[in-house]
Chain A
Amino acid sequence: MNVVAPFEGIGASVRRKEDLRFLSGRGQYTDDINRPGQTHAFILRSPHAHAEIRSIDVTAAKAMPGVLAVFTGADMAGIGGLPCGWQIHNKDGSPMAEPKHPVLAEGKVRHVGDPVAVVVAETKAQARDAGEAIVVDYNPLPAAATMDQALKAGAPQVHEGAPGNLCYDWHIGDKAALDAAFAKAHKVVSFETTNNRLVPNAMEPRAAIGEFDPQSGDYTLYTTSQNPHVIRLLMGAFVLNIPEAKLRVVAPDVGGGFGSKIYHYAEEAIVTWASARVKRPIKWTAERTESFMSDAHGRDHVSRAELALDADGKILGLKVHTLANMGAYLSTFAPCVPTYLYATLLAGVYTTPVIYAEVKAVFTNTVPVDAYRGAGRPEATYLLERLMDVAAAEIGMDRVEFRRKNFIPVDAFPYQTPVALQYDSGNYFATLDAALQAADWKGFEARRAAAKAKGKLRGIGISTYLEACGIAPSAVVGSLGARAGLYEVGTIRVHPTGSVTVLTGTHSHGQGHETTLAQLVADRLGVPLANIDIVHGDTAKVPFGMGTYGSRSLAVGGSAMFKAMDKIIAKGKRIAAHLMEASVEDVEFDRGTFRVAGTDKTKSLTDISLAAYVPHNYPIEEIEPGLEETAFYDPKNFTYPGGCHIAEVEIDPDTGKVSMVNFTAVDDVGRVINPMIVEGQVQGGVAQGIGQALLESAIYDAQGQLISGSMMDYTMPRADDLAPVSVATHTTLCTHNPLGVKGCGEVGAIGSPPAVINAVVDALKDYGVRHIEMPATPAKIWNIVNGGRKMAAE
């Protein structure tokens, strides 16, 4: 009887290998780790948005039970500031303002939550008790709580080195060509919008354990990070001056990141540095309130766009002016988000011949803002896809036809946009048509009428989006201001009996890498999935890596693994040629079997690995023993996922509440490795996109207090806020990476917000609504409906 093993390779919806431990509570998160002799840190944070610190008295705190040490900014004065990983240049070529970001406040606090002091004690409660005994004499200063406030003449200055609270004034595109395009426009459509500020709220709050070994002088940091090697580099080289070889960073199981765990945070440096002072391991775990006031927030743009059209509805040019909130300090990658991850995406899926965008980045007395699931691309997509609907309405053209008319043709790839990017592949017509059909776009008016009969307002909205993943190549991003390379590293270790350990520099915090990456190996090397182990998140085990963000793990990390497998196969062929007494050129390899071409002579991968580690009959003069290869892969270009999202909503006009009725996503994410995981990634992203569109908003008052500072006031999406999300894919392959993959982690959060708002505006079309800002809350919609009724009555 033949037993056929289930297919576990590329394209199989294999169940996630990691889920058993996650679902049974056996994950090992940072807070689950307890080191011998461990102590606990409490971080005292600023209650003020902006204040001078006159003095800090820690005498009473130091005398409290269980307290080992109390440190303030003065104690850490010799330590470097938290570095920024991307330098933007102003229009005039000068570098952006880059004020120091102290680990602990030095003389001034600049946002509510700014770390002021740390208490190290035997227990968490003792540390907190002592924290309350620290006396800080603040001189509160007026705050620049919003970009409006910050940009006013005479506004409070967040940093002395950033006059007018301006971080940079940057632009991209050909202004003269744009002006010429606008001069011959038949119509110009203007649109202004705010992209709401979001709090990432990963399920697992941030945590860190610092440990110093006085015998060896080695430091270990356990941290909730998406990229442990980056943390090692930044913290070791720029903040604490610890050589890489003496610093190990471990990012164990991490419960969600969405970007917020990319950055190097003060608490990581604090526990690492302080552990050498108290000579005990120190753990810090954020409470949810701390997460709200210390995790980097997302989005927060105010934009004005103008679209020039000819008489046929073809786009002639696009002009965009954007203000981007940086918060009080530059978080690790903040400056690149509203520039190279945003303005370069403003062509979207359209043949817009000229684009000019200016972006001003503004310091405010708020939590730093950085990349959040999508990072710049959701902002660009939202602006563009709302603008497309507004423009279609103003020229009286069907919004689908207007989009189709301006799509980049299928035969135009590679397609060079006017804002630097060159798209390698895509078929926007195919994803559009598939989505229209899946969402029954044609049947919508009947559903609208049926809803109306029940007193409900139903609307449908569309977004045809494009994004850019796998930020690269290193040389290009370096020329644009990146202070890091953006390659990835993969090691394939084939053990003597043929099982495989993969070391990857990417990091899984919910994405399912332990499954997807193993499928790449199963598919290519023919090793059963159960015999493949994926190792990530430990600088002591993995050679190097840039981590996980920008949907890069498969496109960049997977490609590095592919290259390493190339080397394994090449070496394996040489060993096989020796064992089968054939020439290397005649040896073929396919899923675990080496064959002499045209013969039935074969060797399995296990035969080869055994020979490599037990080299008795082995060409030892020519080939080293062992079967382990590492590859660094630097991509040639970004990848460009795209697609079409369609949202259908129903509004209760009496309460203003929007109910999601249906959501359809047809995405081109390149080659799909595990369809089930892709579906889950898209659904998760759509949930966050619906959250942004309808629910979430970080609100500061004029004094810089975060009003929506807890789950009581910050509306996270719940299951019943969502709709069934139907996910399908239509694939065009990426042309420049060996897997043909593009990335799927962010498409849901990028494509969905404008689809939802377009649907809400469509539902309210009888009320003469041109636009509604995110989040479209019940109160906001009721105001429109109520105002509309008043207008109708007058």
Chain B
Amino acid sequence: MYDFAYHKPSSVADAVKLLAADPDARAISGGMTLLPALKLRLNKPTAVVDLSGIAELRGVKREGGTIVVGALTKHYEVATSAEIKAAIPALAWMASTIGDTQVRNRGTMGGSVANNDPSADYPAALLALGATIQTDKRKIGADDFFQGMFATALDTGEIVTAIHIPVPEKAGYAKMKNPASRYSMAGVFVARGPAGVRVGVNGAGANGAFRATAMEAALAANWSPDAVASIKMDPAMMNGDIHGSAEYRAHLVTVMAKRAVANAG
């Protein structure tokens, strides 16, 4: 990696100040994406602002009908959180399928959300659950937050601080992993709850995570795997590569949607 300055602030305010002062600085949380990019010299920030020392960004709590997940909460903590397992077991299970043991003990929900990798798991879940992303200066609904592959509503220097997730009545997740990278090749998160019936899709889309609205309508009318079985996705909207064509991914979305509904019960 190239040389860079390293900062480890202990408050969000200090972190924001550091990032505001240097547009070429990058915030780092678990570092599961940024660190490999640095090591491969694909990224050359002037400074890295390490958020891991900010205690206020940690922890999971339930506030009425909402689960609030601190941005620094690691995938392992999401997977094993008693609150999340009780309120949104599908989300806990999703977290348990991310990466490997090492990644789950480093990677954070806030980092994943801010990065919005098209193959990451969480964006589909947050879309489906109708979550709200809290930053250092505002709250942004998931629909507005996720803006396509690696694109979000975050301004330069803006930090995700927490994710607010309304507790659903039902939710389920299923995914097909890329055989090589084990990232999601097609993952579908379905939920019925305060935000209505919603379906989030990761991995497959040509432009990142998205909502499958036709599936939402079908499930709103009939919450069952059969309801989505005949809904075909448009391959033109899908990603194709050496691991599978756009047609294959379109097909997988339907299969995973069925399985996600079945998993939701």
Residues of A within 8 A of B (CB): 128-129, 132, 289, 654-657, 695, 699, 707-708, 711-716, 718, 777-779, 782-783, 786
Contacts and interface: CB of A to CB of B under 8 A. Distances in A.
B23 interface: no
B227 interface: no
Contacts of B180: 695, 708, 711-716
Contacts of A699: 242
B242 A778 contact: no
B179 interface: yes
A565 to B, nearest CB: 48
Output the residue of B179, B242, B243, B245 with the most chain A CB within 10 A. Answer: B179
B103 interface: no
8 contacts: A289-B40, A695-B179, A712-B180, A713-B180, A777-B244, A779-B245, A779-B248, A782-B248
Interface string B231-265: 00000000000111100100110010000000000
Nearest to B182: A718
Contacts of B40: 289
Nearest to A783: B248
B255 A654 contact: yes
A777 B179 contact: yes
A289 B36 CA distance: 12
Interface string B177-212: 001111000000000000000000000000000000
B251 A778 contact: no
Nearest to B186: A655
B34 interface: no
B43 to A, nearest CB: 14
Nearest to A777: B179
Contacts of B242: 699, 707-708, 713
Given A712-B180, A712-B181, A786 B251 contact: yes
Contacts of A656: 248
Contacts of A129: 2
A779 B255 CA distance: 14
B176 interface: yes
6 A-B pairs with the lowest CB-CB distances in the bound complex, closest first: A779-B244, A715-B180, A712-B181, A715-B179, A654-B255, A779-B248
Contacts of B248: 656, 778-779, 782-783
Given A655-B176, A655-B252, A655-B255, A778 B181 contact: no
A709 to B, nearest CB: 11
A713 B252 contact: no
A713 B179 CA distance: 8
Contacts of A778: 176, 179, 244, 248
A711 B252 contact: no
A715 B40 CA distance: 20
A657 B251 CA distance: 13
Contacts of A786: 251
A707 B240 CA distance: 14
A269 B40 CA distance: 26
B103 to A, nearest CB: 13
A711 B242 CA distance: 13
A269 to B, nearest CB: 27
B259 to A, nearest CB: 8
A14 to B, nearest CB: 32
A170 to B, nearest CB: 32
B181 A782 contact: no
A132 B248 CA distance: 40
B34 to A, nearest CB: 16
A654 B254 CA distance: 10
A705 to B, nearest CB: 12
A116 B181 CA distance: 30
A777 B243 contact: yes
A455 to B, nearest CB: 12
A338 B179 CA distance: 30
Contacts of A654: 255
Given A289-B40, A654-B255, A779-B243, 7 more contacts: A655-B252, A707-B242, A708-B242, A712-B180, A713-B243, A777-B179, A783-B248
B120 to A, nearest CB: 14
Nearest to A708: B242
Contacts of A711: 180-181
A362 B70 CA distance: 58
A96 B45 CA distance: 52
Interface string B159-176: 000000000000000001
A695 B179 CA distance: 7
A498 B182 CA distance: 54
Contacts of A713: 180-181, 242-243
A656 B252 CA distance: 10
A132 B255 CA distance: 47
Contacts of A715: 179-180
A782 B245 CA distance: 11
A296 B181 CA distance: 23
Nearest to B180: A715
A780 to B, nearest CB: 9
Output the residue of A655, A656, A715 with the most chain B CB within 10 A. Answer: A655
Contact of B251 (A132, A712, A714, A782): A782
Nearest to A699: B242
A289 B133 CA distance: 37
B246 to A, nearest CB: 11
Contacts of A289: 40
A708 B243 CA distance: 10
A655 B182 CA distance: 15
B251 to A, nearest CB: 7
A782 B181 CA distance: 20
A713 B183 CA distance: 11
A129 B41 CA distance: 10
A712 B181 CA distance: 4
Contacts of B2: 129
A262 to B, nearest CB: 27
Contacts of B252: 655
Contacts of B179: 695, 715, 777-778
A322 B81 CA distance: 58
A654 B176 CA distance: 11
A35 B252 CA distance: 54
Interface in B20-69: 40-41
Output the residue of B40, B181, B248, B255 with the most chain A CB within 10 A. Answer: B248
A255 B180 CA distance: 22
Contact of A657 (B41, B176, B245): B176
A154 to B, nearest CB: 28
A729 to B, nearest CB: 32
A778 B249 CA distance: 11
Contacts of A695: 179-180
A699 to B, nearest CB: 6
A277 B244 CA distance: 50
A6 to B, nearest CB: 37
Nearest to A657: B176
A45 to B, nearest CB: 14
Nearest to B1: A125
A411 B182 CA distance: 51
B185 to A, nearest CB: 9
Output the residue of A289, A714, A778 with the most chain B CB within 10 A. Answer: A778
A64 to B, nearest CB: 13
Nearest to B248: A779
A152 to B, nearest CB: 23
B81 to A, nearest CB: 25
Nearest to B245: A779
A654 B253 CA distance: 11
A712 B36 CA distance: 12
A708 B245 CA distance: 16
A786 B247 CA distance: 11
A514 B216 CA distance: 63
Nearest to A718: B182
Nearest to A775: B179
Nearest to B243: A779
A240 B161 CA distance: 60
B250 to A, nearest CB: 11
A699 B180 CA distance: 13
Nearest to B40: A289
